[in-house]
Structure 1
Amino acid sequence: MRRRRNLILQGPPGTGKTFLARRLAWLELGATDAARVELVQFHPSYSYEDFVQGFRPDAHGQFRLQDGILVNFCQRAGQDPKRPYFLLIDELNRGHVARIFGELLLLLEADKRGPAHAVRLPYSPAGSPPFFVPENVYVIGTMNLADRSLAPLDYALRRRFAFVRLAPGFDEPLRQFLAARHVPSAIIQQLTTRLHQLNQTIADDPDLGPDFCIGHSYFCQPPASPVEAANWLRLILEQEIAPLLTDYWLDQPAKAAQQQKKLLSGLLDG
């Protein structure tokens, strides 16, 4: 992140990408300073006009030139150059990223920051001050690799980011996390064993693969009482994981049913 200033956390759903993005920002800031962190989520109808600048209706229904989230954020960061600022982009690949970013493709590069590389924005009238990305702005994006409807990232954008892959974590750290919250050891053993086995099946499937594995964040909010742990696990497996498997093997209902049975059979009652 410090080397490239632009980082993308990518991985299967439920691997804590947004959670980690926010905490990376807080770690670098040294505080949970909301004024220096901006979160935006891309989606298919999100546009350059929303993100950078464009004509949008005001409170009176009249169209006028308005700065988007990026420009406002960079202006704030430029007024406070000695401290880092973080722009977090959730679900980055759900938007048309090349269209949304526009000339930011150039300005995002670590060696193209600052007023020396400023450009005039397309919507800005003549005489307007040019736009640049301050050196103290960091961008952290998240990408869900399991969404089959999304096209690969534009290569021009891809080479401006560093990529870090997150994987499901059903190992010792999760065990310790749940044990510290008084989840019985037998429940923890069932959870981790079954999810390890399921993820291996998903990873080995030629139509799915590792990008479709189940993440650990489904299980990061255990109940306050240990006696509720068995029902907590059962409900997550029945109501969240099992329906996902139906979607994964939509054209193989027998395989979906088989994996659901293996996941749910013989669960502890308490």
Structure 2
Amino acid sequence: MSGRTQKKSADPPNALADFKVGVDNVIFSVDTAQNRLLVLLVLRHEEPFIGQWSLPGTLVRQGESLEDAADRVLAEKIRAENLYLEQLYTFGGPERDPREAENCYGVRYLSVSYFALVQFAETELIADGVSGIAWYPLKQIPQLAFDHNQILTYGYRRLRNKLEYSPVAFEVLPELFTLSDLYQLYTTVLGENFSDYSNFRSRLLKLGFLLDTGVKVSRGAGRPASLYRFDADAFAPLKDKPLVFI
């Protein structure tokens, strides 16, 4: 028998991949006081990508659903009322995770991403003494770990699309709001050029799902502004129709 060490043969082309599944959460909020769209990031304190910022994520535990894993990692990072996570997309390209190298674990890593928009003033960050956590303005996002910049870009596209056809904006506004408050939220997310205020105001009032409460509020030297409330029942016939808000 030869004393030479035989080289391990490569996997055949049709070999099945061995996967580990993780979840990554794209959590947006709008700081209306400073007109900033924010993203929740956490600082990694272990390899791979130690010392880099990333989206809040975790590997799914045995016997745990994807939704429970996504909820678990967020519960460790923030406290927020009525937080609803919507599944975004699955990212599973080869070599998206450096732990997929042949000299490491020899497995593939899938990321099932989730998306949410939360109220900035009502969301509390949990400082656990281990992982840094912070709101980052979208325009100042650094290079993130793994493929999280790609996941974030996909999440931002989903947020923009949802603002066009769904009432997601009212989930982060106070129950009573002015039309200027609503317009400011849209310009913060979509940009200043998405619509002028007069057209935006006229369009929404004609659709009939904003109820004038009869209450006015004074802000600064201008005329008092009316406070409105979102009427979900009146909006129901428009649900999922495109371009309702723009």
Settle same-fold status: TM greater than 0.5: no
Point out which structure has higher relative CO (alpha carbons under 8 A, 6+ apart): 1
Alignment TM-score, normalising by the size of structure 2: 0.29
Q: Which has the higher helix share?
A: 1
